Structure 1
């Protein structure tokens, strides 16, 4: 096994959530043909006995931790292959044990290795399992300098999305087509971060051999008043047309390296989070910007991004500027 810069990094801790994240990271690294570093960050606990890390036999403690993370990788590789997934060359996967707080370790090591992406489970072995987004994953998403993918355990409870108004339509007004191609759904609001999310999503769709679904969710309260509509209320169809134009302009401005027939813009008359989650049902991945066009620029993670992270049944990639 060898560690190289420029690959992926995934946090592991022996939890079911982390195991699912590790298996996802193995597949993603194989698709990218890059390296993967599985990191077990730990601090001294009663499970380690009375020996401190500065004791004469500390090397034995470190060696035991290293063996543990290697066993997690071996088990994940085996389970993935039994499920029929391609996990690539095991020599591309490296085990690391690091003494330190998990979020800090992942962030610092991610910078040191200049990784393309950090992968974490939605929650780990923390005390408060009732929180859908764990403290480690939350901290990593908020402070990472690269895209972060949060992977939910398949058995995790997911609140059903609420829908309001019209259902999803594609940008030319017809019902969004259904097929068996893998879908990558991207939240779009016209911000610079949503353009970055589009490019990240297009690259993911290309690797999957699937399609990209840029989604623009709109409400009267979020786009009112329309340009040149001061003093009167236009029909709903005008708002919908404006939303479609904004979505298509944003997609065009992203200059995506993906064939046009694999880009399927969708407009939804609904609040952003439930609208996006509704379209993403059955998708391979959701991609969102860390923050959108909301009024709180000081926030590191926007409310829509956080709601999607906490409720999505599929992996969610958060893109930063």
Structure 2
């Protein structure tokens, strides 16, 4: 079904938090909520197979029922809530179902196959293969804080800016557009032992950074004229800048890939640092997605 928010549930406290956030997102967007619990059923043989299978199925059904009730308690005015038990590897199920969703919401920790969601290849897989924006629920978001968006002039960054303005419009808050620049090669800030000057004209580089930041927010600003935007240009390293900005943010929005210091954001150390250490929710957007978050 098109026009809904999709969330994975595994019974953990983190996933229930994600269910509540997903319910709020669905209400704010005016769409339905789909809660999915997925796992691969174990192979069982012998006379007790049927009883064991029924017990596992009952447990899964109760888990989904509890998640649905949690969503209803979080958002009583959201009428369109459905829960489902699906057979398959959970992240594969979420990636496939994301083709019909507006947003996928996941918790930062969980049980079973969701364990270690933000550690290693699992997070990389979901960010790389989901067909809609992915919202990772973590940290303690500042309810009065801005939506922070990482800007670098790339296609994915442009999509992230659009998503950030749309989110700020829904939330009634401002956008903080952040662009980090430096005078070194793209490898330099993350590899201090290999610093090589990129240009000798620092003022020219700074003007180019200012132009990138201004141009990157111009279109989204016209589309959302009521959203206040603050532009901040920082010289330094990308990871510390984003993590620091997340401390006072309601949401951080990033593109899946980018230029310069944001290159390979979801595949490299920058994304891992943000997903492990951000103090608020993180929304990942790719440029090839047709819809903004």
TM-score range for the pair, normalised by the shorter chain length:
0.7 to 0.9
Partner of 2:201: 234
Alignment of 1:183-262 (within 5 A): 183-222=146-185, 233-235=200-202, 237-254=203-220, 256-259=222-225, 262=228
- Per-residue displacement from partner, 1:246-295 (whole Å, max 9, x unpaired)? 20012124565222661111111121121122222221111100011159
For the Cα contact (< 8 Å) 2:177–2:232, is it kept in 1?
yes
User: Which one of the candidate residues 32, 38, 49 is aligned to 1:41?
Assistant: 38
User: Which one of the candidate residues 22, 27, 37 is aligned to 2:24?
Assistant: 27
Distance in 2 separating the partners of 1:103 and 1:243: 38
User: Which one of the candidate residues 232, 235, 238 is aligned to 1:272?
Assistant: 238
TM-score normalised by the chain length of structure 1: 0.74
Matched, 1:115 2:101: yes
- Per-residue displacement from partner, 1:89-114 (whole Å, max 9, x unpaired)? 34311111112111011112222xx1
The runs of 5 or more residues in structure 2 that have no matched partner are 188-196, 289-293
- Per-residue displacement from partner, 1:144-202 (whole Å, max 9, x unpaired)? 111111111659xxxxxxxxxxxxxxxxxxxxxxx985411100000011000000010
- Per-residue displacement from partner, 1:192-244 (whole Å, max 9, x unpaired)? 110000000100000001111111011111489xxxxx997335x55433322
Alignment of 1:68-217 (within 5 A): 68-78=63-73, 80=74, 87-111=75-99, 114-126=100-112, 132-133=118-119, 136-152=122-138, 154=140, 181-217=144-180
Distance in 2 separating the partners of 1:258 and 1:275: 26
For the Cα contact (< 8 Å) 1:27–1:88, is it kept in 2?
no
For the Cα contact (< 8 Å) 1:290–1:302, is it kept in 2?
no
Secondary structure of residue in 1 paired with 2:230:
coil
Distance in 1 separating the partners of 2:209 and 2:56: 58
Distance in 1 separating the partners of 2:17 and 2:168: 21
The runs of 5 or more residues in structure 1 that have no matched partner are 81-86, 156-178, 225-229
Which of the pair is proportionally richer in helix?
Answer: 2
- CA shift at 1:137, angstroms? 3.8
TM-score normalised by the chain length of structure 2: 0.80
Distance in 2 separating the partners of 1:143 and 1:315: 20
Distance in 2 separating the partners of 1:180 and 1:66: 34
Cα RMSD of the aligned pairs, angstroms, is 3.6
Q: Structure 1 residues 32-41 or 248-257, which shifts more?
A: 248-257
